[in-house]
Chain A
Amino acid sequence: AQKVTQAQTEISVVEKEDVTLDCVYETRDTTYYLFWYKQPPSGELVFLIRRNSFDEQNEISGRYSWNFQKSTSSFNFTITASQVVDSAVYFCALSGGGTSYGKLTFGQGTILTVHP
């Protein structure tokens, strides 16, 4: 069975602070993909990043960066110099093989509030 855990239910920061959202996953698959999605207050789900299990290189996109560590089964997401517009629910998700083939298993989500 696959599982994604986002232990931080809610995080509150002040604008310009850096913030890291944790994601820990469990899977028996050797090949799998990890994702982050953002759900702003307007409610839609916005795709942010996809990472495959064979690529442990960290990725940076503007103020966003992702740290994938297979040894600790973690795929953490850092926002540098946070802005009010970053306020949203962030979901980590896992796509694997076997009976989970083709479906996303989501974590519980982390509510990020950035105060001005």
Chain B
Amino acid sequence: DTAVSQTPKYLVTQMGNDKSIKCEQNLGHDTMYWYKQDSKKFLKIMFSYNNKELIINETVPNRFSPKSPDKAHLNLHINSLELGDSAVYFCASSPYTGGLTDTQYFGPGTRLTVL
């Protein structure tokens, strides 16, 4: 029944580790996104994919790599985690081709804590 789901909901790890966050949507949407929400609640886009192709890649360290095995899934892999990566990461999806008209629907978020 869940529209956009993310796993895990909470992730606590040590500096230097590699971790992944998974996202799945069952809305039949073509475009998926990753956003980062910092400790001050500010939301900023990181990536977006349309039908498995990268279309938006903001200024994000190379340690972050999105992977889209199919249009219903967009995973986020993070290498060599740093303290500053601690944040809430939101996955979102929208219909069509990621155009300005599309409403984005968000997952529940993954709270990443790097110790």
Chain A residues engaging chain B, CB cutoff 8 angstroms: 29, 31-33, 35, 37, 39, 43-47, 50, 52, 89, 91, 93, 95-97, 100-104, 106, 108-109
Contact = CB atoms under 8 A, between A and B. Distances in A.
Contacts of A104: 35, 43, 45, 104
A39 B37 CA distance: 12
B103 to A, nearest CB: 5
A-B pairs, top 8 by smallest CB distance, nearest first, are A102-B98, A45-B106, A106-B43, A95-B100, A103-B45, A44-B108, A109-B41, A50-B103
A101 B99 contact: yes
A102 B56 contact: yes
Contact of A45 (B45, B90, B98, B102): B90
16 contacts: A31-B100, A33-B100, A39-B41, A43-B88, A43-B111, A44-B108, A45-B92, A45-B106, A45-B109, A46-B106, A47-B105, A95-B100, A100-B100, A101-B98, A104-B45, A104-B104
Given A44-B107, A47-B106, 14 more contacts: A33-B101, A35-B103, A43-B108, A44-B106, A44-B108, A44-B109, A45-B106, A95-B101, A101-B100, A102-B100, A103-B48, A104-B43, A104-B104, A106-B42
